Amino acid sequence: MTPRLQREGGKKAALRRALWVALAIAAVAATLAMRGPRHEARDWAAVYSRRRYYDPVDLKLSPHGRRLYVACEGRNEVLAINTASRRVIAAIPVGRRPKALALSPGGRRLFVANAWSGAISQIDTRALQVTRTLPAGWGVEGMAADRTGHYLYAANPLGNDISVIDLASGRETTRLAAGHFPEFAARLRGSWIGISNLLAQPAPPDTPPSSQLTLINAATRQVRWQVAIPGAVQMRHIAQTPPRFGGYLLIPFLQPHNLIPLIELRRDWYASNGLAIVQLRGRRAPRVREVLLDELDRAFANGYGAAVAPHTPWALITASGANQVAILNLERLHRLLQSPDADELARRLDAAPQFVARRLPTGRDPTAVAASPNGHFAYVANRADDTISVIDLAGLRNAGLIRLGAQRPLTARRRGQQLFFSALHSQDHEIACASCHPYEGFEDGLVWSFETPRLGRDVVENKTLLAIRGTSPFKWNGLNPNLATQDGPRTAMYIFRSQGFSPVQVRDLVAFINARPLPPNPHLAPGGLNPEQARGRALFFRTRTNTGQIIPLHDRCYYCHAPLTHFTSRVLMNVGTATRFDDTGAFKVPSLEGIYMRPPYLHNGEAQTLEEIWTRFNPRDRHGITSDMNKVQLNELIAYLDTL
Amino acid sequence: MDLTPEFYAAADPQVSPSGKELLFAAMRRRRGHWQIWRMAAAGGAARQLTRCAADCQRAAWLPDGHIVYTLSGGRAARLGSQLYRARADGAHPHPITFGPGNFRLEAVLRSGRLLVSAAAPLDRRAAAAPTRALYTLRPDGSTLRLFRWQYPAHAAPTSARELPDGTVIFVAQPSRPAAGPAAKMGKLAWFPPQAARAALLPGAKPGLDSVRLLDGRRWLLSGSAATSGCAIYIYDSAAKALVTRVYQAPRMACAQATPLEAQPAPWIYHSILHLQMASGRVVCLNAYRSTLAPGGSWRRGRLAQVRVLALRGGRRVTLGAAPVQPDGSFYLRLPADLPLSFELLDARGALVQAQRSWFWLRPGEDAGCQGCHENPALAPVNRWPLALKRQAGAIALGLGRTASNRAPMRPR
Amino acid sequence: MKPHLPSVAARTISPRAAARLRVGLLAFTLLAAAAAAQTPPLYSRWINYTPANGFPRGEVYCVAIAGPRVWAGTEHGLALIENGRLRKVFTRADGLAAYAIMSLAVDPNTGDLWIGGLGGLSRYSAGKFINYTVLSSGLANDLVYSVAVRGKYVWAATAAGVSRLNTWTHSWRIFSVVGKPSAPFEEPWAYALAIGPKKAYIGLWGGGVVVYDLRRKTWRPYLDPDGAPEIVLYRNQGLISNMVSSLTHGAESNAFWAGTYFGLSGYDGARWHNYMRQDSGLASNFINGVALQGRRVWAATQRGLSEFDPGARVWVTYRPANWRALDAGKAARPQRGEILITGPGGHPRRLETATSLAHNYILNLAFQGNDIWVATAAGLSHGFAAPARRILYAHPNRVHRHPARAAYARQTRH
Amino acid sequence: MNWKLTLLAGLTAALLAAPMAAQAPGCPSGPSPTRAARMRYADMPSRAFPFGSFIQPYALWFTTPDSLAFDGSGRARPDADWRRLRAINLGFLGPLDPQYSESVYGIAMLHGAELALARANARGGFHGKPFALKIHRDSPLWGASAIELVRMDYRQHVWAMLGSVDGASTHIALRATLKLWVPIVDTATTDPTVTETRIPWLLHDFPDDRQQGYALADYIFNQLHLKHVAILRANNRYGRLGYTVFFNTARRWGKQPVMVLKFEPYATGFTRSLRELQQLGMDGLVLWCNARQAGLIVRQMRALGMRQPVFGPSRLTYPALIQTAGVAANGVVTVAAINPDRRDPKWLAFRRRYRARYHADPDAYAAYAYDGMNLLIAAVRQAGLNRTRIMDALHAYAMRSYAGVSGTAFFDYTLNNIAPVTMARVEHGHFVYWPERRSDWSRRGWPGCTAAAGR
């Protein structure tokens, strides 16, 4: 904004305005110093004592390429690194869990999405200080500022929407509908903003998943296309190739093969990893193609970051599970996509060598990748190593490592984190824990057909790993007494189909999983329950029906979903939800904590919303007595459940 | 130093993961059988592990304390040579391959799977089969799969090795007799990592048939070069050329050089078979998919049934037929440890496609295939197979009424 | 495809008449210039979208304008018209929740279209539908008769009360007779909605109009004061009937118009203004929809589209000239159109137009700039405020002497 | 002109299709057609006219045909080709799930409708194609049944619908049909407001709470001359709407009820309310609830020593009243929707067939459903497969009587049956029925009838 003002007025006027702006910034800073930070400082202290690792998760290079900004979600900081000296020159404290970065077009303002604060920090890149805090939606992550720098678009994974923030007023003007769990955003050529989704669109459990790319026309600030990416989940960073290489959007994704029984782990029987390739075509609907980055006997597990190196034919894709960065030859890719059988590429395991120029090892859990504006270097953030890999794009080789200064020796939890994201422990390196538990231990929202005594039966919905401490036994059938049993030989034999983790590794992994917290619940206002939620709470704990009859103890909500033990009684209960595909009727009572963020519901993912649990799948009142409730009460009950 | 002075012949030395022991095949007398022996790498007395009535060769260490080896000839010869697995002291030998095809152990891959060579296709005429190919197998004998699939024409791979980067090197032995001694010699070929197509290794001489890794870049090649007898070379994999000849023994027939050092242990593979069971299950996702069909797929609705053949006592018997669901899926329970083969039939019972080879299921094995003779480079289609959705369970064929169709409870 | 439009003027006017027309036009232009400020346009040319040119069959329940796009909710899907061409008809097969589309609302912020119908509520955003039904969301009922958007809230009038969705927090609120605190509804069947900046106007089918003050969170019901559906006690007694089918709110904070099946009822914040067929130029008492255009109120009735200018006290009704035959099933399509202009003195003047609305049974209407879009029982009609010379009298020889605007202006001078 | 023709056609059709009507012995009760043309809406007692003592209303509805005329494009729609149909689908909406108390009415209604359909199909159906009943349940859970009429239309392409019992369900179906144009015949609800909505897609053939309220008021105030009546009603839609006509009539007659108390539909103890009413000095009690609760109230009332007479609407005329109340039920006077003791051969034949098929006695819901389905079938046969024309055929019954197994109905312009109602008194553990005795009713002038005739 300031540069534009300077252009408009004379020098004096500009000075005057600059003075005013400086005063305003000072005032804001003072206000922040007096009020905001004090509250947040307490949080930081708590977080610092718990999490000492940096966990670099997003990178942005300044327009001239001399400075690299790193969002470190583990320490609630943004680091500024001098790319010449490869040294950290500033650590700027921001809000909780900074997940994503966006630069204003000129590079003067850096926006930091603080997922757990539900707010965006705006950093003045000259002063390297937070100048203001912008409102945002639930669990805000990926952001992109439009070309003019007037509006900022922010993806809210927990709200399934996109905030449009007017940067002049600092107010959120609109929330646009996005698909399920939008997590990453990018400014594209023209006036497009792209938003990719982590999870598949809600759908009946026996249908293959389909994810969504939301394309916003920044000129109208409205969604123009909601592009279905068939078969895909976990779409992440978006990179756009130059027009001469087709101008495609490249989005790493995972194609889960959850509907076929998981009796193998070879040649992508569980999942494929690759790229969605989206071609914008003006007024016509964008065209979607898919290519795999997996190879015949070696998977490119959990693609994450994507970047196109200017002035080169290279695009870089990181695989957080394979600890690799693949360097794509865009010219060859472009040519391959022109071939008549390009549609088959979505499943071809032998295509990647045709366009992957080089695969380079990275640190553990590589996430974001950024290429310098001159195309000389690329940088990969290795989240579980607290390092930045530097890649020489001229020689396509590793050219150094920037260490952010991790604590040594590693804690058990840290070692567990490294194992959690690594696919190197499974046969053909196909999957990591994180493949099915994205969002650092969440769930993918899919049902999976595991190898069971009867194949194709007992198909169950994936379960979250967030906040599961104290809720054992695990699995819908309750057969796993603890995490160590699950993560040991069982994972080795039936999931990884390999040697699996050693007992020491299992201990580390369990330490990591047990420490997975839930994000702060956006339904819960600071003042406690609102009246509707409070009425819902009364319904949850009610002992009589609307007609005054006493509800038997075992038919009350709180009997099975016991509040003192994370809203689960930790036993198996038959609530009449078994179908003809189940060999058992009793399932472990799931915890209700964070229930709002993890549809679908019930053991087989039949209920796509909380409402459906009672409206469709509780016809005989076996899942609690609910049929006497009216719709208003049901809404209130759900309003309360949303706060757990 | 001759480690085995007391033997008439010795071959296939395998250094244990610790680097302190050797496993090798040897015959004491000229007309005896090859057996598997074990000895300290430093030398000393060898311990006989096998008492084969035929030849036992090509042994390998398994990371779980077992060994695996190839038995050829003898009574088992009807189906050609087979792989056996036994404890490290040679006790409890049992077969892990069952079909025709002359299986021969090549190596244990780092993933824990076995790399074996056998006739391609794996059929009855194995002995006369002109070509061979590499397959992989879990060390419990389950999940037989073709390893990559494009080989130099008429070449039988032998002496395959896996290098740490995933490169597989083998000797392409000409499978047809050709004129001249040099033409009979195998040529080194390789599968670059992730390549479906094998190529001859540039710069290598014919007759070299053993490859060992020295370091990341240099390989140890050895064999019997036609002119100079036995020789050992160092090969620069980056320059793709032989750089040094380190050893030459003109009088000896061949050499298999192995560095005596600790080997990277392959992964332990945890078997999930249930050896007490008499059957295994196979689910086919889409029998319509076939590279033999025009356009890669049979016309929708054409397939009605799958017929299962078995090889019992050297004879083909029909076990029965089961419906193919409209989406091409079928789900069967079939006798374990028996050579099996599928035939796809149309609604009138006419043959649409016959499997050209034999496979088997191990007891309690759950095998899955994407299609019948499908393109192995395609990832599966994510769809709930109707055979699993509509059928209550696997359709049992060739199992007596007494055979238990219920699998034991299995955690997951 | 674009319906063929015969040029009526060119076909029926003789050269002599044309010469006189020029004189008449000159006079008209002067007259029109004087009256233009007050004289609203007359819609004399119609293009109809009917099954004959690919439009969905059955009734058209609603129409909404989003810039160049015209959306029409029909008995058999949601039709999208762009630049005069039918682009697509969306049905349940495309992901819509509803079988029949009752109501449409365009969110000016997001550009999304909200679709209420018999089957649930849908949000159309960039080619995709997000559905809300009674079983899968907090929506009160699957029969959605009206939908409205204001800020971050989406309101839906359903057969079991009014549902309100906060699109930012995804929380639902139901205003109905059940639950606590309940809304003061005589009947739960909400049929009409109009959401103003400060107040929400809710038309209940049998429960009158209930106004919700958005800031104070207070209710004010407006009911038929005689309480008996079989009578209207006084002409301007208050709300004319509790059977409210449609609502629109005025610029003043309290003003609204309610369409009922027993006449048109307007409230200006202080007084009521009721109109029935018997005492006004209203085409029929059976009103399916109402709309405001400036101060003029439009009523979509079962016997034509009526427009009322309260200032001039002039009624204009549009309908097919052969509407009786259409109703009786004796005619398949409208022949010519008729315009009835009724001034304060009564005795409507009748004009005939070459083209006509698709049917006399009118369900709804919307404005696109100077144009009007009308949802009828037999198609969607696009009306143009064409020059007056396009309008013909029933007697062709008098065509040029009585331009319709002049007729309108004369009526207003009474 | 037009409507007269339609009327004539409809009447002819009704006579042809339902020969029973033509052969009806005696004369129907109720107002004569000539008089009815000038009648008050719903034939309300004159002094019960709202504001009737003060002012002539500005406008009157429902008493002339043109105030209800309905336009639309439906008649122009091409008829469906019956040759291409497997069956002529008719919808049924009713409470059938046993857990809902109204299912007793719904099941009886279904049986009556099925019986009519079976007879129609035995007689050749529609051009040889059978009529098929598409049964939908209006279970109230979550309001999900609201969509049933829509599903009937779009999924089963029904030509008309019969149902339902519950006023709310019927209203919701009406809401939908106003948009979808599916004729509805309702033979069970007593909700007086369903015919007052100006939705021309409904024919209602059951004595509604208007007729029941007028009859009770007439009996209580004009014949028994009680003065201080109290009302006890269930707090549901049935109780809330049902008592109002009686209440307003009493009020307009200067007999304002002393108290209206409500109770929850699941309540079982009423002693407190009864004591309260006793203290007010009531001399009669009117109940508006279901038979079982009424039985409990009567029993508890007698146990308290209260001897006041008890009255109630037709839902009380059910065995559950006597089963619950025992001897305490004796003397309770209720409205009866039919008189099952009639010796009318049509009724007897119907009862015989019904007993043979369902092994139970038909009740009012079965009888009216049978009549309603016959009306509907006749309308379909006459009009063909065009819903608007089917509705037109039903409109031909306006201001005409129809003699069915339930008695002789008379439909006003809203197509509501306003024939006078029968009443019953519990005597010795049985309902004893007697003809209606509304004292303000005119019995003159029926065509072809020389004298007033009762049933």
pLDDT tens digits, C378-391: 999 999 986 544 44
Q: What long-range pairs does C80-87 form, CB within 8 A, spacing at least 24?
A: C81/C49, C81/C380, C84/C2, C84/C47, C84/C382, C85/C1, C85/C2, C86/C49, C86/C53, C86/C54, C86/C55
Residue C48 resides in a domain: no
Q: Do B241 and B334 fall into the same domain?
A: no
What is the arithmetic mean of pLDDT over B121-150?
Answer: 79
* Domains identified in chain C, total number: 1
Residue A309: pLDDT band with limits 50, 70, 90:
very high
Q: Do D170 and D188 fall into the same domain?
A: yes
φ, ψ for residue D408, nearest 5 deg? -105, 115
Spell out which residues of chain A touch residue C154, defining contact as CB-CB under 8 Å. none
What digits encode the pLDDT tens for the residues D64-83? 777 677 888 888 888 888 89
Q: Is the peptide bond before A409 cis (omega within 30 degrees of 0)?
A: yes
Which pLDDT value is given to residue B45? 85
Three-state secondary structure readout of C144-194: EEEEEEECCEEEEEEECEEEEEECCCCEEEEECCCCCCCCCCCCCCEEEEE
Q: Do B23 and B169 fall into the same domain?
A: yes
What digits encode the pLDDT tens for the residues A74-105? 999 999 999 999 999 999 999 999 999 999 99
What is the arithmetic mean of pLDDT over A178-190?
Answer: 93
Which pLDDT value is given to residue A359? 93
- Per the structure block, which two tokens stand in for D385? 């497969």
Q: Do D400 and D352 fall into the same domain?
A: yes
What is the arithmetic mean of pLDDT over A151-172?
Answer: 95
* 3-state DSSP percent of chain D in helix, strand and coil, to 5: 45, 15, 40
List Cβ neighbours of C198 (8 Å cut-off, separation of 6 or more). C213, C214, C215, C253
Residue D8 to residue D31: CA distance in whole angstroms: 19
Residue B236: pLDDT band with limits 50, 70, 90:
confident
Residue C376 to residue C302: CA distance in whole angstroms: 9
Q: Are A354 and A363 in contact (CB under 8 A)?
A: no
For chain A, the domains span 35-412, 424-514, 531-641
Residue C324 resides in a domain: no
Which pLDDT value is given to residue D47? 82
Residue C268 to residue C161: CA distance in whole angstroms: 26
- Are the beta carbons of A174 and C109 separated by less than 8 Å? yes
Give how far the C-alpha of residue C6 lies from the chain's centroid of Cα atoms, to the nearest Å: 27
Q: Do B225 and B317 fall into the same domain?
A: no
Spell out which residues of chain A touch residue D265, defining contact as CB-CB under 8 Å. 547
Which pLDDT value is given to residue A472? 87
Spell out which residues of chain B touch residue A349, defining contact as CB-CB under 8 Å. 377-379
- Are the beta carbons of A161 and C168 separated by less than 8 Å? yes
Which pLDDT value is given to residue C37? 40
Q: Do D214 and D183 fall into the same domain?
A: no
- Per the structure block, which two tokens stand in for B54? 């035929």
What is the arithmetic mean of pLDDT over B292-304?
Answer: 89
pLDDT at D382 over 80: yes
Instruction: Give the residue on A whose Cα is nearest the Cα of B331.
Output: A455
| Domain carrying residue B165 | 9-249
Residue C265 resides in a domain: yes
Residue A297: pLDDT band with limits 50, 70, 90:
confident
What is the arithmetic mean of pLDDT over B279-305?
Answer: 91
- Average pLDDT along chain D: 85
Q: Is A634 on the interface with D (CB under 8 A)?
A: yes
Q: Which of C289, C306, C265 is nearest to C366 (CA)?
A: C289
What digits encode the pLDDT tens for the residues B311-369? 887 788 999 999 999 999 999 999 999 999 999 999 999 999 998 888 999 999 999 98
What is the arithmetic mean of pLDDT over B88-97?
Answer: 89
What digits encode the pLDDT tens for the residues B30-83? 888 888 989 888 878 888 888 888 888 889 989 888 999 998 876 555 667 889
- Distance from the Cα of A138 to chain D's closest Cα (Å) equals 30
Residue D42: pLDDT band with limits 50, 70, 90:
confident
Q: Are A390 and A86 in contact (CB under 8 A)?
A: yes
What digits encode the pLDDT tens for the residues A417-433? 999 999 999 988 999 99
Residue for token digits 């992994």? A509
Spell out which residues of chain D touch residue C140, defining contact as CB-CB under 8 Å. 143
What digits encode the pLDDT tens for the residues C45-99? 899 999 998 999 999 999 999 999 999 999 999 999 999 899 999 999 999 999 9
Report chain B's terminal Cα–Cα distance, integer Å: 52
What is the arithmetic mean of pLDDT over A160-177?
Answer: 94
Which pLDDT value is given to residue B371? 85
Residue B181 to residue D297: CA distance in whole angstroms: 114
What is the arithmetic mean of pLDDT over A363-379?
Answer: 95
Q: Do B167 and B288 fall into the same domain?
A: no
Is residue A169 exposed (0-12), middle (13-18) or buried (19+ Cβ within 10 Å)? exposed
**Torsion angle, alpha carbons of C399, C402, C405, C409, to 10:** -160
Residue A26: pLDDT band with limits 50, 70, 90:
low
- Are the beta carbons of C126 and A633 separated by less than 8 Å? no
Helices (H) and strands (E) in chain B, counts: 2, 28
Which pLDDT value is given to residue A220? 92
Q: Are A313 and A292 in contact (CB under 8 A)?
A: no
Is residue D389 exposed (0-12), middle (13-18) or buried (19+ Cβ within 10 Å)? buried
% of chain D at pLDDT higher than 70: 86
- Are the beta carbons of A548 and D144 separated by less than 8 Å? no
Residue D362 resides in a domain: yes
Spell out which residues of chain C touch residue A633, defining contact as CB-CB under 8 Å. 179
Residue D21: pLDDT band with limits 50, 70, 90:
very low
Which pLDDT value is given to residue D436? 63
Q: Do D235 and D282 fall into the same domain?
A: yes
Q: Which of A226, A616, A631 sits opposite C160 (nearest CB)?
A: A631
Last residue of a domain, one of B249, B268, B296: B249
φ, ψ for residue C413, nearest 5 deg? -75, -10
Tally Cβ neighbours within 10 Å of residue D342: 18
Residue C39 resides in a domain: no
E strand or H helix at D250: helix D237-252
List Cβ neighbours of B367 (8 Å cut-off, separation of 6 or more). A263, B142, B143, B280, B281, B282, B283, B359, B361
What digits encode the pLDDT tens for the residues A481-527? 889 888 888 889 889 998 889 999 999 999 999 999 999 999 998 88
Which pLDDT value is given to residue C250? 83
Residue C319 to residue C337: CA distance in whole angstroms: 6
E strand or H helix at A435: helix A433-436
Which pLDDT value is given to residue C120? 94
Answer yes or no: is the ipTM higher than 0.95. no
What is the arithmetic mean of pLDDT over A36-55?
Answer: 50
pLDDT at C411 over 60: no
% of chain B at pLDDT higher than 90: 26
Q: Which of C136, C138, C176 sits opposite A608 (nearest CB)?
A: C136
What is the arithmetic mean of pLDDT over B10-16?
Answer: 84
- Distance from the Cα of D142 to chain A's closest Cα (Å) equals 6
* 3-state DSSP percent of chain A in helix, strand and coil, to 5: 25, 30, 45
Q: Do D114 and D166 fall into the same domain?
A: yes
Residue C395: pLDDT band with limits 50, 70, 90:
very low
Per the model's pLDDT, the better-predicted residue between A643 and B4 turns out to be A643
Q: Which chains touch B (3 or more CB pairs under 8 A)?
A: A
Size of interface C-D (CB pairs under 8 A): 145
CATH number, domain containing residue D153: 3.40.50.2300
Per the model's pLDDT, the better-predicted residue between C409 and D82 turns out to be D82
Which pLDDT value is given to residue D100? 83
User: How far, CA to CA in Å, does A265 sit from each of B208, B289, B379, C338?
Assistant: 35, 20, 11, 75
Which pLDDT value is given to residue C410? 56
Q: Which of A186, A135, A139 is nearest to A164 (CA)?
A: A135
- Are the beta carbons of C135 and A630 separated by less than 8 Å? no
pLDDT at D449 over 70: no
What is the arithmetic mean of pLDDT over C180-189?
Answer: 87
Collapsed DSSP state (helix, strand, coil) of residue C234 = coil
Q: Do D244 and D315 fall into the same domain?
A: yes
Q: What long-range pairs does B93-97 form, CB within 8 A, spacing at least 24?
A: B93/B50, B95/B71, B95/B141, B95/B337, B96/B68, B96/B137, B96/B139, B96/B140, B96/B141, B96/B362, B97/B137, B97/B141, B97/B144, B97/B360
Which pLDDT value is given to residue B238? 82
- The CATH class that applies to domain A35-412 reads mainly beta
Size of interface A-B (CB pairs under 8 A): 136
Residue D168 resides in a domain: yes
Residue B251: pLDDT band with limits 50, 70, 90:
low
Collapsed DSSP state (helix, strand, coil) of residue C113 = strand
Q: Give the CA radius of gyration of chain D.
A: 21
Q: Are A378 and A391 in contact (CB under 8 A)?
A: yes
List Cβ neighbours of A49 (8 Å cut-off, separation of 6 or more). none
Residue B4 resides in a domain: no
Q: Which chains touch D (3 or more CB pairs under 8 A)?
A: A, C
What is the arithmetic mean of pLDDT over A612-633?
Answer: 91
Per the model's pLDDT, the better-predicted residue between A29 and D423 turns out to be D423
Residue D85 to residue A296: CA distance in whole angstroms: 56
Which of the residues A272, A454, A480, A604 would you substitute to probe the B interface, choosing the one with the greatest number of B C-beta atoms within 10 Å?
A454
A378-407 burial, b at 16+ Cβ within 10 Å, e below that, comes to bbbbbbbbbbbbbbebeebeeeeebebebe
Residue B175: pLDDT band with limits 50, 70, 90:
low
pLDDT at D37 over 90: no
φ, ψ for residue C24, nearest 5 deg? -60, -40
Tally Cβ neighbours within 10 Å of residue A127: 12
- The DSSP string of A436-470 is HSHHHH---S-EE-B--SSTT-S-EE----TT-TT
Q: Which of residues 500-529 of A touch C (CB under 8 A)?
A: 522-523
Q: Are C65 and C73 in contact (CB under 8 A)?
A: no
Q: Which chains touch A (3 or more CB pairs under 8 A)?
A: B, C, D
pLDDT at A173 over 70: yes
Q: Is the peptide bond before B121 cis (omega within 30 degrees of 0)?
A: yes
Q: Which fold has domain A531-641?
A: Cytochrome Bc1 Complex; Chain D, domain 2 (1.10.760)
Q: Do B13 and B138 fall into the same domain?
A: yes
- Distance from the Cα of A635 to chain D's closest Cα (Å) equals 11
Residue B402 resides in a domain: no
Which pLDDT value is given to residue C394? 38
Report chain D's terminal Cα–Cα distance, integer Å: 34
What digits encode the pLDDT tens for the residues D179-233? 999 999 999 999 999 998 888 899 999 999 999 999 999 999 988 999 999 999 9
Q: Is C327 on the interface with D (CB under 8 A)?
A: yes
Q: Do D138 and D187 fall into the same domain?
A: yes
CATH number, domain containing residue B298: 2.60.40.2190
List Cβ neighbours of A127 (8 Å cut-off, separation of 6 or more). none
pLDDT at D103 over 80: yes
CATH number, domain containing residue C176: 2.130.10.10
* Domains identified in chain D, total number: 2
* Domains identified in chain B, total number: 2
Collapsed DSSP state (helix, strand, coil) of residue D403 = strand
Residue for token digits 């003003």? C255
Residue A360 to residue A323: CA distance in whole angstroms: 9
User: How far, CA to CA in Å, does D27 sit from each of A451, C63, C177, D43?
Assistant: 78, 53, 45, 18
Which pLDDT value is given to residue A13? 58
Q: Which of C102, C140, C189 sits opposite D179 (nearest CB)?
A: C102
| Domain carrying residue D319 | 210-336+423-434
- Average pLDDT along chain C: 85
Spell out which residues of chain C touch residue A639, defining contact as CB-CB under 8 Å. 171
- Are the beta carbons of C137 and A611 separated by less than 8 Å? yes
E strand or H helix at A5: helix A2-8
pLDDT at A55 over 60: yes
Residue B295: pLDDT band with limits 50, 70, 90:
confident
Residue A380: pLDDT band with limits 50, 70, 90:
very high
Residue C150 resides in a domain: yes
- Distance from the Cα of A49 to chain B's closest Cα (Å) equals 37
Q: Do D174 and D258 fall into the same domain?
A: no
